Structure 1
Amino acid sequence: MRMGWKRVGAVALLGTLLIGCAGEEDSIQMAPVPVVESEFTPTQVWKSSVGDGVGNYFSNLTPVQAYGKVFAADREGVVKAMDTETGTTIWSVDLGEDAPALISGGLTASYSKVYLGTETGVLIALDEETGETVWQANAGGEILSKPLADESLVIVNTSRGELAAFDAESGEERWRTSSDVPNLTLRGDSSPVSTSGGVFWGMANGRLGAAFVENGNIIWQQPIASPKGATEIDRLVDVDATPVIDGALLYAVGYNGQLVAIDLRSGRPAWKRTYSSSTDFLVVGSYLFLITDQDHVVAVDARSGTELWQNRDLEYRQLTAPVAISGYVVVGDAEGYLHWMDPNSGEFVAQQQLDDSGFAVSPLNVDEGYIVITRDGTISKKQIL
């Protein structure tokens, strides 16, 4: 997830802290666009738009594909369902007719509904066929990440450190569990994931939590990062990246912390490596692909944590989470470039600039292609032929 403050309201402050002032010796500079001789150029299948997008706000609105449709939203409240093959709008609703809806939690499609969350702490369920609102529920805090749908529940992780579960059909609250939240945290929250009756999520206090999906009772908590340093900024330890479950292992990474592989049966770490990240990561086979807090793209052996390669050519370009498309590792950046890398070496194989408004979220793999959405709300489907 992209970084910002929950407790500090000025986006300008974040820019100052990360980018620095031009002319200062220690200022942080965005790396120039790498010169890449592209081995291929994707073709466009269709193109549309979803409201005004997310602009420069933190809104992790990744589209989702289900029921033969692509569902996407903008921050103000426009939600659209489009035919995956043609891009034709099937339905469009505006949840922000009276006031901006401030949609911020990515979309989840399940149980014939589309679930999404807002900065005002509202969890919304829409009928996937019509877009009509089925129910709304108060989650009690900002919903900045994608809801989880499992065992007839919809589970959200809120900015107040609470994991809350609601009935998928009625919206009635079923259970809630909470954790301590430090005074200063990154703006973002881990999406919960689940397997075999357990739900797992990252916390702002540097821990990874495990609970029973059925009732929210805690199974264990595992430290991923520990506060260090003299300032509050140095002591940030958020676990905002969504955990990844692969076989018997659960992977998690923390800001100012570690990349950890945890044995699901015992809850104990199988291995740990020192990396700092708040961005979602990718596991494909025996490879784990990670974006560090400096926007270095790293590949490690998922079985041992051994680093395989590191690409630093996109430093501080505000990268999206990595995604696997057609056998390549793909990331987007703040200037609207898609960068395609060889997963075995980290070398660039292709590059395109789609829109100078930039990317807030990764491309989405769909049937016969992939979907990209830019910060201004432009959405398109592309293919590599």
Structure 2
Amino acid sequence: MKKILSKALSCSLLLGAIVGCSSEEDTVIMAPVPAVKSEFTPKSEWTSSIGNGVGHFFSQLSPDVAYGKVFVGSRDGEVKALDPENGKTLWSIDLEDETIARLSGGIVAAYSALFIGSENGEVIALEAETGEVKWRSTVNGEVLARPVVDSNLVIVNTSRGILTALDAETGEEKWNISTEVPNLTLRGDSSPVAVAGGVFWGTANGRLAAAIAERGQLIWQQPVGTPKGATEIDRIVDVDASPIVIGSNLFTVGINGQLISIDLRSGKPTWKRNYSSAIDMATDNRRLFLVTDSDHMVAVDARSGTEIWTNDKLENRLLTGPVIIDGYVVVGDAEGYLHWIDRLTGEFVAQQLVNDSGFSVGPVVMDDGYLVVTRNGDIRKLSLPEAE
């Protein structure tokens, strides 16, 4: 398992799991960096930094770009707004209180504010223009996943299986929905998705759930994986990937489960395929791109679930979720490489070493380039060379 198991494993894992625990018989071998003849070399526009980054901790603390600013944060509580043109700091705030802030879920910009979750069970709202704290609210469980903001609600999925909606202006709790959390789960949670008045999220017990966002009424749950096997580890079925919506269909994938297409209105599956993953997918609205639990890259036809291509050359390199940049599928890895893949064929087209501290999250697309943040807090805006 790449992601850290909670509640039952005592061995310490760097970057999720580069090798197995000392008590395990098998060792996970990271594939060597594939030899790639790059068709282009991305250009650095500017560099900056944010505290100590996220270190070797599990983290989904991704930057956001909105309101003419780049918003970045570090696990220890530093949050900055940067000028997207030159990377200069526009404002900075330290959210560390009596303990380390342990920021992990977010950043999300909406309603002229930023919303960030923490491992301390806090959701924090900041003024986007100044960085001033609007409110801090406590929720039941760690907030490891990115919140979703919709209909004046900030909706977070916590490690205790509780989906909680807070008022975006005040932080007051409006409703919560509780789902079962098994004794042993992966470290991480599904980021909710809001569409057409509904909110959709994956659960630790192997389901995709749907609720009416306005009042927090659960309307259906669809199994994505069914626990099987003799041990608790074998029976892990977390759905930690954020759902993707294309038209009237919703797509998600679970660990030891399936990649599944679901009709939004009925909650009924339209197709299922046997893939196992706990990482967010990407789409170009015709294909789904996913990273399996062995770090194999796969492209699947969104209409039928038919596999288009697979690339196994990055096996066990602890990949980020894929991102579509200028028509390429891009993933980062634990050694700080970005891998550029042709979305039609699955072949490598370029490779870029950014920073050997590695990536915990993938790049963020900007209007005139893309943004990367490495584990040690290095921030870079890069762009592709213009076609001749």
Q: What percentage of aligned pairs have identical amino acids?
A: 59
Contact 2:328 2:340 in 1 (8 A): yes
Structure 2 CA distance for aligned equivalents of residues 139 and 260 of structure 1: 30
Structure 1 CA distance for aligned equivalents of residues 121 and 325 of structure 2: 33
Structure 1 CA distance for aligned equivalents of residues 230 and 88 of structure 2: 54
Contact 1:4 1:11 in 2 (8 A): no
Instruction: Kindly provide the amino acid, as one letter, of the partner of residue 294 in structure 1.
Output: S
- Equivalences for residues 287-298 of structure 1 within 5 A: 287-298=287-298
Structure 2 CA distance for aligned equivalents of residues 55 and 157 of structure 1: 23
Structure 1 CA distance for aligned equivalents of residues 95 and 78 of structure 2: 6
Contact 2:363 2:370 in 1 (8 A): yes
Counterpart of 1:199 in 2: which secondary structure?
A: strand
Contact 1:2 1:188 in 2 (8 A): no
CA drift of 1:265 comes to 1.7
Q: Structure 2 vs 1, CA of residues 354 and 237 (structure 1 numbering), >3 Å: closer, same or farther?
A: same
Contact 1:256 1:276 in 2 (8 A): yes
1:240 corresponds in structure 2 to: 240
1:149 corresponds in structure 2 to: 149
**Superposed CA offset, 1:135-186 (max 9, x none):** 0111111000001100000000000000000000011100011001000000
1:74 corresponds in structure 2 to: 74
1:107 corresponds in structure 2 to: 107
Instruction: Kindly provide the amino acid, as one letter, of the partner of residue 132 in structure 1.
Output: E
Q: Structure 2 vs 1, CA of residues 18 and 368 (structure 1 numbering), >3 Å: closer, same or farther?
A: closer
**Superposed CA offset, 1:48-86 (max 9, x none):** 001100000011111001101110100000000111121
Instruction: Kindly provide the amino acid, as one letter, of the partner of residue 129 in structure 1.
Output: E
1:317 corresponds in structure 2 to: 317
TM-score by structure 2 length? 0.96
Q: Structure 2 vs 1, CA of residues 170 and 20 (structure 1 numbering), >3 Å: closer, same or farther?
A: closer
The unaligned stretches of length 5 or more in structure 2 are none
**Superposed CA offset, 1:276-299 (max 9, x none):** 000000111211000000000000
Contact 2:117 2:147 in 1 (8 A): yes
- 2:316 is the alignment partner of 1:307: no
1:117 corresponds in structure 2 to: 117
Instruction: Kindly provide the amino acid, as one letter, of the partner of residue 148 in structure 2.
Output: L
Q: Structure 2 vs 1, CA of residues 71 and 215 (structure 1 numbering), >3 Å: closer, same or farther?
A: same
**Superposed CA offset, 1:7-35 (max 9, x none):** 1464526889762389x984320000000
- Equivalences for residues 243-258 of structure 1 within 5 A: 243-258=243-258
Contact 2:2 2:293 in 1 (8 A): no
1:379 corresponds in structure 2 to: 379
Counterpart of 2:101 in 1: which secondary structure?
A: coil
1:188 corresponds in structure 2 to: 188
Counterpart of 2:186 in 1: which secondary structure?
A: coil
- 2:337 is the alignment partner of 1:353: no
Instruction: Kindly provide the amino acid, as one letter, of the partner of residue 195 in structure 1.
Output: V
Aligned residues: CA RMSD: 1.7
Contact 1:2 1:279 in 2 (8 A): no
1:333 corresponds in structure 2 to: 333
**Superposed CA offset, 1:341-379 (max 9, x none):** 000111000001110000000000011000000000000
- Equivalences for residues 1-385 of structure 1 within 5 A: 3-8=3-8, 10=10, 12=12, 19-20=19-20, 26-96=26-96, 98-385=98-385
Structure 1 CA distance for aligned equivalents of residues 76 and 97 of structure 2: 9
Contact 1:181 1:205 in 2 (8 A): yes
